[in-house]
Amino acid sequence: KVQRADLVRVLRDGVVLHDSKLSSLKRFKDDVREVTAGFECGVIVEGLLDVQVGDQLEFYHKEQVR
């Protein structure tokens, strides 16, 4: 599942190209907080302008552990 607060890492040919946060997460035309696996969605990655076919997106979040 992808959540709006997640961070995203963009990989091209196994090399990290960009590491940032999501600016937007949409399902059809609606802004959403999360999208579960198996559903299409649209994302805007903050600061990423060059996207190519075959790029991989890894979504993750950081947790503070005591």
Selection from 9, 6, 12, 13 nearest residue 47 by Cα: 9
Q: Which pLDDT belongs to residue 58?
A: 93
Give the separation between CA 59 and CA 66, rounded to whole angstroms.
23
Q: Which pLDDT belongs to residue 49?
A: 85
Confidence of residue 13 (pLDDT cuts 50, 70, 90): very high
Please give the mean pLDDT across all residues of the chain. Answer: 92
Its pTM surpasses 0.85: no
Tens of pLDDT, residues 24-55: 999 999 999 999 999 999 999 999 888 899 99
First to last CA, the chain: 25
